[in-house]
Structure 1
Amino acid sequence: MNTKTTIEPKSKPPSKFSSFIKMPHTLVIIVFIILICALLTYILPAGEFDRVEDKETGNTVVVENTFHSVEQDPVSIIDVPLAIVQGLTSASDTVFFIFIIGGVFQIINSTGTIEAVTARVGKAFMNRGLVVIPIFLALFSVGGFTMGMSAEVMAFVPIGIAIARSLGYDAVTGTAMVMLGAASGFTAGLLNPFNVGIAQSIAEIPLFSGMWLRVILLVILLAVTSAYIIRYAKKVKKDPSLSFSYELEKEEGMGRTDLIASLPQIKTAHYLTIIAVAAGFGVLIWGVSSKGWWMEELAAFFLSLGIIVGFLAKYGPSKIASEFVIGAKEITFGAFIVGIAKGVVVVLEQGAIIDSVVNGLFTSIAHLPTQIQVLGIYIVQNIMNIFITSGTGQAATTMPILVPLADLINVTRQTTVLIFQLGDGLSNCILPTSAMLMGSLAVSKIKYQEWVKFFWPLLLIWMVIGAGFVLFADFIQY
């Protein structure tokens, strides 16, 4: 399905000054952070905590009140490139896991199963009014909490818009019920290997553990988002002039069904793929919970799943290999982000100041109530998402600092991962640095300011829900 859209510029090009101050590339930001960390190794006193193994969990934990000074060993600017390479090497298991995941999901995507299922659902419910909104949200949340669907949703936005308009709604409604569904699933991260999986790996807790609370989070996010979109859609249907994309609707016209008629039919190969993937995720849950599967086992599992799906789709070995390479190539950025971000930790560890940073943070918040401590970390993690929108990059950058800090303030590591995933996911649908948002808006032709007017009240609701879950998780020692 071709979703390429050409948008004529409606305003003058940005000035040289505005181009200069735009947000730098994520890699530039991370390298800049590494350089700052190298500079800090000359400024901050070196020190470390004693660490012991927790006999109950097997985790290596920080011992409170054991921070002591060690010999200063600053990292020179010349050594920064070496630290970046060492970061890539030390994170190799995660980096190659991401490559394999990207390749396997491309094999699954190439079968056309996702498009066919979306079309089947859309056609089945397009005449049932508002019920299509929660159904689409739930459908795309599955892509979000399994394969980390994010920027990929832009390919499905035209389908959502066509169905929404055929029901008397607008482009904002159609875009929201696709993009916000994926965003809700990504944030909840039930089986998302790119945010929760990597964060839990760094935190040394079982992969995808603590799922029960994330399921509740997903249900609440979907329920609240459904109610919000339905309320807006009803107003637009009653009075189209209330649409935030009213000018676009006058140009495009409501009630278009031409795209819906051209959507693909679901075939036998699609059913086989659905069965294989569903069974595969059942095996995944069993392996992680009962057999203690880790990165190597998970990578082997996903690789096997991709090959099976390829053969079920009647692909030959070369076709499977070519699709795998395409997927691995498209995920290269995310994989390298993890490795390069690990360079931050390498510099802090080589300069013996990572514990100094943790001790400084602990000292500054130790006297505060626990609720304020966890909310403070939650806010900081949301701010970090402005600068590092990659979930994998954020995990590699922030989790090594958050984990020992959480140990010191008696916040569980599972709660720390929850704080990370909420900070990483909630604001992705409003940040202009988000590829998911800007790609979807480009395809839908909705102006950024129009989307912000629609979404900002829901973002506030999401943020409050996130804060509530963080406090609840801390209260029950999740």
Structure 2
Amino acid sequence: ILAAGYDAVTGVAIILVGAGVGVLGSTINPFATVIAANAAGIPFTDGIVLRFILLIGGLLICIAYVMRYAHRVKADPSRSVVSKQWAAHRKLFLQGHDEEIHSASLTTIQIISLIIFGLTFAVMIWGVSSQGWWMARMGALFFGAAIVIGLIARLGEKKLTGSFVDGARDLLGVALVVGLARGIVVIMEQGMIADTILHSAETSLGGLPELAFINLMFWIEVGMSFFVPSSSGLAVLSMPILAPLADFANVGRDLVVTAYQSANGLVNLINPTFAVVVGGLAIGRVSYDRWLAFIWPLLLILTVFITVVISVGTLL
């Protein structure tokens, strides 16, 4: 990304925004949509058309936003939100090889390595979705893939272990940040902050008309997502309480699920207690305030888009 003339924020945005919009408009996400639908007592396929609209529309909005920013930065690096770190980022990530990287082409070994890397993710998706894999098995999978790639690339024992240690060193700070973020979540959970919010939500949602109900529920889920960033955790916590209230407002429970996951995906683009955000920013060497400077207009656009979609869905 940097060798192509863009900045670190562009690289981080490709990952975080892409993942975020995938959650926001998820259709069959087993950790969000499926768990929430089960907790709400409905098939996860209910409301899938509306979620497809959210996914495609949100994806197009995010692609346009990130590409517009990237083109602007490439044309004028001073317009980057991390322009003051431009030289430092290039020195850190390119290590003086930017011209070589720019003119280089992929070798056969590099192509094979990329294929193995892609297959690793395919195996991970299969394992998580159908075999019950979680962190330990995923970690073992990536560790094994790294060894295989190192052997294929003929790095040698010294260079392979050295590269592994260098990578682990870069992630040490990320691990500390993630641990701190998780500590904040634990404090919130043990302090029953989420339970207090849910109780207030239950009393405030009763008797509201359809449009007011679904939009207020969306904002309640937005607030809850700051305290419970886990999509599955939030689903299990909020759906059994909020979904039955939809029956009294004549709102489909599938809309409640859609509002929940769109709120969670939106908030987790900036949530400082979400490991993916703090970890991604730490790896990309992008400070949180610079990320907010980049992302806040997109958040406003997505918020308007989501509220319009769920409101129209309520009226149909």
* 3-state secondary structure, aligned to 1:185: helix
Cα distance change of structure 1 residues 381 and 238 upon mapping to structure 2, 3 Å threshold: same
The 8 Å contact of residues 8 and 89 in structure 2, kept in 1 or not, is answered as no
Cα offset, 1:462, TM superposition = 1.0
**Bigger radius of gyration among the two:** 1
Cα distance change of structure 1 residues 435 and 259 upon mapping to structure 2, 3 Å threshold: farther
- 1:230 pairs with 2:67: yes
- 1:239 pairs with 2:76: yes
Map of 1:110 onto structure 2: none
Cα distance change of structure 1 residues 370 and 207 upon mapping to structure 2, 3 Å threshold: closer
Equivalent residue letter for 1:245: V
- Determine which of 27, 50, 62 is the counterpart of 1:213: 50
* 3-state secondary structure, aligned to 1:222: helix
* 3-state secondary structure, aligned to 2:36: helix
Whole-angstrom CA distance in 1 between matches of 2:101 and 2:268 = 28
Cα distance change of structure 1 residues 265 and 396 upon mapping to structure 2, 3 Å threshold: same
Equivalent positions of 1:69-468 (< 5 A) are: 164-253=1-90, 256=98, 264-266=110-112, 301-303=130-132, 358=202, 360-363=203-206, 366=207, 368-468=208-308
Cα distance change of structure 1 residues 357 and 375 upon mapping to structure 2, 3 Å threshold: closer
Cα distance change of structure 1 residues 270 and 243 upon mapping to structure 2, 3 Å threshold: closer
Equivalent residue letter for 2:284: S
Cα offset, 1:191, TM superposition = 2.2
Cα offset, 1:196, TM superposition = 1.0
Whole-angstrom CA distance in 2 between matches of 1:237 and 1:275 = 33
Indicate the structure whose relative CO is greater, using CA pairs within 8 Å and at least 6 residues apart: 2
Cα offset, 1:272, TM superposition = 6.9
Question: Structure 1 length as normaliser, TM-score?
Answer: 0.47
The 8 Å contact of residues 190 and 214 in structure 1, kept in 2 or not, is answered as yes
Whole-angstrom CA distance in 1 between matches of 2:262 and 2:118 = 33
Question: Structure 2 length as normaliser, TM-score?
Answer: 0.69
Whole-angstrom CA distance in 2 between matches of 1:379 and 1:180 = 20
The 8 Å contact of residues 47 and 258 in structure 2, kept in 1 or not, is answered as no
Cα offset, 1:240, TM superposition = 0.8
Whole-angstrom CA distance in 2 between matches of 1:269 and 1:236 = 32
The 8 Å contact of residues 225 and 264 in structure 2, kept in 1 or not, is answered as yes
Cα offset, 1:264, TM superposition = 4.8
Question: Where does structure 2 lack aligned partners over 5 or more consecutive residues?
Answer: 146-181
Cα distance change of structure 1 residues 212 and 442 upon mapping to structure 2, 3 Å threshold: same
The 8 Å contact of residues 362 and 405 in structure 1, kept in 2 or not, is answered as yes
The 8 Å contact of residues 40 and 239 in structure 2, kept in 1 or not, is answered as yes
Equivalent residue letter for 2:89: E
RMSD (Å), alpha carbons: 3.9
Equivalent residue letter for 1:239: D
Cα offset, 1:402, TM superposition = 0.7
Question: Where does structure 1 lack aligned partners over 5 or more consecutive residues?
Answer: 1-163, 282-297, 315-333, 349-353
Cα offset, 1:173, TM superposition = 0.9
Whole-angstrom CA distance in 2 between matches of 1:185 and 1:233 = 21
Whole-angstrom CA distance in 1 between matches of 2:251 and 2:68 = 38
Ranges of 4+ aligned residues in structure 1 off by more than 6 Å = 257-263, 267-278, 354-357
Cα distance change of structure 1 residues 199 and 166 upon mapping to structure 2, 3 Å threshold: same
The 8 Å contact of residues 361 and 405 in structure 1, kept in 2 or not, is answered as no
Identical positions, percent:
33
The 8 Å contact of residues 362 and 408 in structure 1, kept in 2 or not, is answered as no
